[in-house]
A and B are shown apart, each in its own frame.
Chain A
Amino acid sequence: MATKTKSGFDEKRLSLVLLDYQMLLKAGAYDKETLDKIIRESKKAIEDTTVQSNKDAARRVLDMATEAAAK
Chain B
Amino acid sequence: MGGRGGASKVGGGGAKPQQAQQPQPQQKSNAPGGWDDNGNPALVKYQNQTDDKTANFLAKVHRDTDLNQIQKQTNDPYGFYDNDFQRLVLQLGLNGKPQTMSAKQFDAYVKNNRSEVLYRGVSGQDAVDRFNNSPNNHTGNGVYGEGHYFSPDKSTAQQYARMAGGSKSKIITATLDKSKARVVDVNTVRAEIQKHNSRLRASLRNAGSAGTRSYGSNKGEAQMALKMGYNAINVPGFAVIPLVRDIVIVRGK
Contact = CB atoms under 8 A, between A and B. Distances in A.
Interface of A: 7-10, 12-17, 19-21, 23-24, 27-29, 31, 34, 37, 41, 44-45
A29 B239 CA distance: 9
Nearest to B152: A27
B215 A17 contact: yes
Interface residues of B, number: 23
Contact of A29 (B210, B215, B238): B238
A29 B211 contact: no
Interface of B: 1-2, 4, 142-143, 151, 156, 159-160, 163-164, 187, 210-211, 214-217, 235-239
| B contact patch SS | loop
Given A19-B160, A23-B159, A8 B211 contact: yes
A20 B214 contact: no
A25 B216 CA distance: 14
A24 B235 contact: yes
B2 A27 contact: no
- Most chain A beta-carbon contacts within 10 A, residue among B2, B159, B215, B238: B215
A10 B140 CA distance: 14
B159 A19 contact: yes
B237 A29 contact: yes
A21 B144 CA distance: 11
Contact of A27 (B164, B215, B216, B237): B237
| A contact patch SS | helix
Contacts of A13: 4, 210-211, 215-216
A27 B186 CA distance: 15
A9 B215 contact: yes
Given A17-B216, A19-B159, A45-B215, A29 B4 contact: no
A19 B143 contact: no
A17 B2 CA distance: 10
Given A13-B211, A14-B215, A44-B215, 20 more contacts: A8-B211, A9-B215, A16-B2, A16-B4, A16-B164, A17-B143, A17-B215, A19-B159, A19-B160, A20-B2, A20-B142, A20-B143, A20-B216, A23-B1, A23-B238, A27-B237, A27-B238, A29-B239, A34-B143, A45-B215
B35 to A, nearest CB: 24
A65 B197 CA distance: 31
Contacts of A10: 211
Contacts of A21: 143
B163 A16 contact: yes
Nearest to A23: B156
Contact of B236 (A14, A15, A20, A29): A29
- Most chain A beta-carbon contacts within 10 A, residue among B1, B4, B210, B216: B216
27 contacts: A7-B214, A8-B211, A10-B211, A13-B4, A13-B215, A13-B216, A14-B215, A15-B163, A16-B2, A16-B160, A16-B164, A17-B216, A20-B142, A20-B216, A23-B156, A23-B159, A23-B238, A24-B143, A24-B235, A27-B237, A28-B237, A29-B235, A29-B238, A37-B143, A41-B216, A44-B214, A45-B215
